[in-house]
Amino acid sequence: MAELIGAAHRPRAVDVHEQPHQLSARIGRLGVPVLPRTVVLSVAWVVVLALFAALGSTVTPYDPLQQELQARNVPPVWLEGGGWDHVFGTDQLGHDVLSRVMVSVRPTLTIGVTASLIALVTGTLLGLVAGYFRGPADGLIMLLADSQLAIPSLVIAIAAVAAFGQSIAILIVLAGFSGWMGFARTVRSSVLTLRSRDFVVSSRALGADDLRILYRHVLPNIASIVIVLITIQFRSLILFEAALSFLGLGVPPPQPSWGSMINGGRDYLLSSWWISVIPGIALMLTVLTVSLIGDWLRDVLDPTLREAS
């Protein structure tokens, strides 16, 4: 065993970044980065989702709320008994699964995008204030961030939904304010190192005021790290919404959502597994594609963030 370990390690334990990252950007002949195929496919999936969200129920094959009692638990087209009228089958009440998966995109993306924006704006502003001005504001903001990080947002969400009831607005507020801490902490630590850099110091010596320094020097330098954080945040907020919907605390019925569809099919796993599995695959694909896009952006925008792989 000791031999094997030594052989595997001795000559190589120098640089953890030596292996080319799977998604690293190659620069093409015109200086334009060549997009890896996985990223192209991921972007394509996200574009399709955006179209579904924009068009809503106008493009679904069926009315997603319409129950067809003669066509309950119809299997998807590739299984025996399935047909092209219901490509992904129907659920226990005769809803068309494909139509419901398609209309679920709108609440998911609405909540994900709006909540990410709330988290982005509050987190970045608070991080800037904490890192640039320091003092008691810094202490207070970091205390709040650490305290909130110490409590799972799902638990706070349970209390809030119990009191206010289910609604898209509550979900946006809960998700938005569960995600600001990551932005605040990262922005703060970048600002702390930027503050003492030569270009900021000399700019101040030349008489620039705080607002100008923040706008001209600090913001452009934290832009790339913030963009990467947005993808991470967006992904975890989509999962947050799906988990709440699964628990029956998320998107209010009768509006379908992936999380509640997965939950709804749980009692029919023995006979009609597709009711849960199809929306589950849609959710996983979405989470995976957002991660892949995020990894790629991270490599392109800020190679120092790349994890040892």
Q: Which residue carries 């989470």 as its tokens?
A: 287
Residues in contact with another protein, shown as a per-residue x/- string from 13 to 32 under the rule CB under 8 A: xxxx--x-------------
Nearer Cβ to another protein (22/202): 22
Q: Is 249 in the site for another protein (CB under 8 A)?
A: yes
Q: Which stretch binds another protein (CB under 8 A): 56-64, 113-121, 153-161, 219-227?
A: 153-161
Q: Is 164 in the site for another protein (CB under 8 A)?
A: yes
**CA-closest candidate to residue 102, choices 247, 261, 292:** 261
Per DSSP, helices labelled H in the chain are 2-9, 37-55, 97-103, 105-133, 135-149, 153-164, 168-178, 180-195, 198-205, 210-213, 219-246, 258-264, 274-301
Q: Is 304 in the site for another protein (CB under 8 A)?
A: no
Q: Which stretch binds another protein (CB under 8 A): 129-137, 217-225, 226-234, 245-253?
A: 245-253
Nearer Cβ to another protein (123/280): 280
Cis? peptide before 136, omega within 30° of 0: no
Which phi and psi angles does 26 have, rounded to 5°? -95, 145
Number of residues that bind another protein (CB under 8 A): 58
**CA-closest candidate to residue 119, choices 214, 229, 224, 211:** 229
Sites of contact with another protein (CB under 8 A) = 1-6, 8-10, 12-16, 19, 143-144, 146-148, 150-152, 154-156, 158-164, 239, 242-243, 246-249, 259, 262-263, 266, 269-270, 273, 276-277, 280, 283-284, 287-288, 291, 307-309
